[in-house]
Amino acid sequence: MNFHYDYLIVGAGLFGATFAYYARLAGKRCLVIDKRPHAGGNVYCENLEGINVHKYGAHIFHTSDKKVWDFVNSIVEFNRYTNSPIANYKGKLYNLPFNMNTFYQIWGVTTPAEAIAKIETQKAEAIARMKADGVNKPRNLEEQALILIGRDIYEILIKGYTEKQWGRRCTDLPAFIINRLPVRLVFDNNYFNALYQGIPMGGYTKMVENLLDGIEVRLNTDYLENKKELDALAKKVVYTGPIDAYFDYELGHLEYRSVRFETETLDKPNFQGNAAVNYTDKETPWTRIIEHKWFEFGKDENGEDLPKTIISREYSSEWKPGEEPYYPVNNAKNGALYVRYKEMAEKENKVIFGGRLGEYKYYDMDQVILAVLDLCEKEFNQIK
Ligand code: FAD
Ligand code: UDP
C-alpha cells in the first residue's frame, strides 16, 4: 500500500511533538493531529495580558539528566526559575519543602541539631504507636508522614492538602505518595532535588512550536472519530491518547484524578508575591493559587514590568468519564486493568502507544522526553 506519511502522530503534547521532531530529523514524513484547538497538550500556555498562563496547571521543568536538559535547551532557551512554593495554613505562611526555614517557623529552632531533636522525638512517638499496633512498616500515607517528619508538620502542611488533593483520608492513601517530598536540614526552599530546572522563555507553547517547526499539524481532529481515514494515511501510528479510549473502554474505564481551574485577571501588579501558594488547611476549598507572571519574574517578553496579574485557583476533583483526565490513579485496581489493556496494545502491530495517557503513567516532562529518546533509538536506530 502507498502511504502518504511514515507516521501519523496522535496528540501534539510533549510526547507527540518530541517524537515528530526526531522523526523529521530521521527523514520521516509525519502528520501530527490533536483533538484540541491548540498544540502542546497539557503544557500549553495561553498568552493573556503579556503573561504566559499555564492553562492545564503549573509546569516547572526539572531534571537531573544532562542529555534531557541539553536537548530541551537546544529547542528553546530556559530561564533560571526555581520552584519555591509557600504554604498558607489558616493565614500563616511557611516555606516548602520541609527545610530549616520551615522548622524555624514551626518550632522556633535555629540549628539543624535542634531541628533533628524535634523531628526525632516526634518520629519516636509515631514508631511507638505503630509498635503498639504490632506493625513495623507504615501502612498508609499518615503513618509514612509521621515517621518521616512528625506530627506537627503532618498536621499543618500535609494532612489537609493531601486529603483535598486526593479526595481520600491520609489513612486510606498509599505511603509512597509522600516519599518524593524532600526533608532538608539546610535553609533551602528549592522544591526539587533535580540538578537542572527552569521555564522555557516565551512559555512552553514556544518550545512545542519549535519542536513542530516544519511538520504538518492538524488541530480539532479527533483520531478515534476518523480512525479509518486517518489510518489509511500512514505506515505507522504513534498514539498518545488514553489507552482505554483506543479500545473503546472494552475492559472498563481507567480512573484519573481531575483538576479544575478558576482563572482571574486582576487589575493590580502583584497578588501573592510568589508563583505558587499551597493552601494546606482543610477549610480552604482550593489546593493552591498560581500567579502565572512569577514563572517569568513578572516581566513581558521585552523585559518590561507587567501592570496586571493573572491567578488560577486550583481545585482537585474526582474524575468522571468524559472529563479531562489529569493524574492516573496508580493503585492496584487500575494497575491490573492497565496491564490487560497493554496486552491488547501489544497486538496492534501498526500502533505505538506512548505518553502519560497512552502508557497510563504519572510521567514528569523530563521522563516523557527520555521515553521518546528510547523509542526513537529503537525506531530510527541513530539517536545517542
Ligand atoms: P498530553 O500533554 O496529555 O498530550 C496528549 C495529547 O493527545 C493532548 O493534546 C490530547 O488532546 C491529545 N489527544 C488525546 N486523545 C486524542 C484523540 N482521540 N485524537 C486526537 N488527539 C488526542 N511535569 C513536570 O515535569 N513538571 C511539572 O511541574 C508538572 N506539573 C504538572 C501539573 C499538572 C496539573 C499535570 C496534570 C501534570 C503535570 N506535569 C508536570 C506532567 C506533564 O504535564 C506531562 O508529563 C506531559 O504533559 C505529558 O505529555 P504527553 O504528550 O504524554 O500528554
Ligand atoms: N504535599 C503536601 N503538602 C504540600 C505539597 C505536597 O502534603 O504543600 C503532598 C501531597 O500528598 C502530594 C505529595 O506531597 O500529593 C506530592 O507533592 P508534589 O507537589 O510532588 O505533587 P504534584 O502536585 O506535583 O503531583
Question: Which candidate in 5, 184, 281, 359 is catalytic?
Answer: 184
Residue 383 banded pLDDT, cuts 50, 70, 90: low
Under 8 Å between Cβ of 364 and 62: yes
Ligand nearest to the CA of 59: 1
pLDDT at 38 over 90: yes
Distance CA 254, CA 9 (A): 22
Ligand nearest 288 Cα, by number? 2
- Of 53, 114, 81, 76, nearest in space to 191 by CA: 81
Q: Judge whether 362 counts as a catalytic residue.
A: yes
The SS3 assignment for 342 reads helix
Residue-wise pLDDT tens digits, 91-136: 999 999 999 999 999 999 999 999 999 999 999 999 999 999 999 8
| Contact present, 295 and 199 (Cβ < 8 Å) | yes
Q: Parallel, antiparallel, or unpaired: how do β-strands 234-239 and 256-266 relate? A: unpaired
Q: Could you tell me the pTM of the whole model?
A: 0.95
CB 36 within 8 A of CB 170: no
Catalytic residue among 288, 338, 363, 379: 288
Q: Rounded CA gap, 114 and 106, in Å?
A: 12
Indicate the SS3 state at residue 157.
helix
Q: What is the pLDDT of residue 125?
A: 95
Q: DSSP secondary structure string, 85-148? A: -EEEETTEEEESSBSHHHHHHHH---SHHHHHHHHHHHHHHHHHHHHHTT-SS--SHHHHHHHH
Residues lining ligand 1, CB < 6 A? 10-16, 33-36, 41-43, 57-61, 222-224, 240-241, 259, 326-327, 355-357, 363-366, 368
Cell numbers found for residue 329: 490513579
Read off the pLDDT band of 381 (50, 70, 90). confident
Determine the pLDDT at residue 96: 97
Is residue 21 very low, low, confident or very high in pLDDT (cuts 50, 70, 90)? very high
Out of 54, 88, 161, give the residue to mutate to test ligand 2, the one with the largest number of ligand atoms within 8 Å of its CB.
Answer: 161
**pLDDT value of residue 331:** 80
Q: Measured between alpha carbons, how far is 211 from 13 in angstroms, rounded to an integer? A: 10
Could you give the CA distance from residue 54 to residue 46 in angstroms, rounded to a whole number?
Answer: 7
Is 384's pLDDT higher than 90? no
